[in-house]
Amino acid sequence: MKRMTDYKVYLVIFLLAAFSGLMVFALFSTQREEEDLGQFYLDQAFAKTGANNVVSAIYLHYRAYDTLLEVLVFSAAVLGVSLFARWEKDDSGGVDRRSSVESSVIEGSGALLFSPVVLLGVYITFSAHLGPGGGFAGGVIGGTAVLLVSLAIGAREVGSRFNEERLKRFEYLIIFLLLSFVFFSLSDWGIALLEGMELSSLIAINAAIGLKVFIGTWAVLHFFIEHRGEV
Amino acid sequence: MVTGSFAASIAVLVFAIGTGGLILKNNLIMKLLSLNIVNTSSILFFIAVSYRQGVQAPIIGPGKELYADPLPQALVLTAIVINFGVLALSLIFAISIVRRYHTLDVKKIQREARREFGSGVED
Q: How do residues A31-89 score in pLDDT, each as one tens digit?
A: 655 667 778 888 888 888 888 888 898 898 888 888 988 998 999 999 999 888 888 66
Q: DSSP H helical segments within B25-105, as ranges? A: 28-49, 71-101
Hey, which CATH number is domain B4-120, 3.10.270.10, 3.50.50.60, 1.10.287.3510, 3.20.20.150?
Answer: 1.10.287.3510
- Chain A contacts of B78, Cβ < 8 Å? 66, 70, 73
The phi and psi torsions of A166 (rounded to 5 degrees) equal -70, -35
- AA identity, residue A108: G
Which of B 5-34 lie inside 8 A of A, CB atoms? 5, 8-9, 12-13, 15-16, 19-20, 23-24
Q: How far apart are CA A110 and CA A101, in angstroms?
A: 12
Q: How far is Cα B120 from Cα A107, in angstroms, rounded to an integer?
A: 50
More confident residue, A114 or A162: A114
Structure confidence at residue B66 (pLDDT): 77
Residue A171 domain-assigned (yes or no): yes
Query: Number of folded domains in chain A?
Result: 1
Please determine, for residue A28, whether its predicted confidence score (pLDDT) is greater than 80. Answer: no
Residue A155, domain member (yes or no): yes
- Asked whether the predicted pLDDT for residue B59 surpasses 90, the reply is no
| Any domain includes A210 | yes
pTM over 0.80: yes
Backbone angles phi, psi at A87, to 5 degrees: -75, -50
Residue B5 pLDDT more than 80? no
Interface contact flag, B57 A132, Cβ < 8 Å: yes
Q: Which domain covers residue A201, as residue numbers? A: 50-226
Whether residue A26 is contained in a domain is answered as no
Neighbours of B9 (CB within 10 A): 18
Using the predicted structure, report yes or no on whether residue A158 has a pLDDT greater than 90.
Answer: no
The residue that leads in pLDDT, B34 or B1, is B34
Q: Say if residues A38 and B70 touch (Cβ distance below 8 Å).
A: yes
Residue ranges covered by each domain of chain B: 4-120
- Compute the count of residue pairs across chains A and B with CB atoms less than 8 Å apart: 113
The residue type found at B91 is L
Q: Which of residues 73-112 of B touch A (CB under 8 A)?
A: 73-75, 77-78, 80-82, 84-86, 88-89, 91-92, 95-96, 98-99, 102, 104
Question: Taking CA A36 as the corner, what is the angle to CA A194 and CA A22, rounded to the nearest 5 degrees?
Answer: 125
Q: Is A32 contained in some domain?
A: no
Q: Which of A18-22, A197-201, B97-101 has the highest mean pLDDT?
A: B97-101
- Has residue A21 been placed in a domain? no
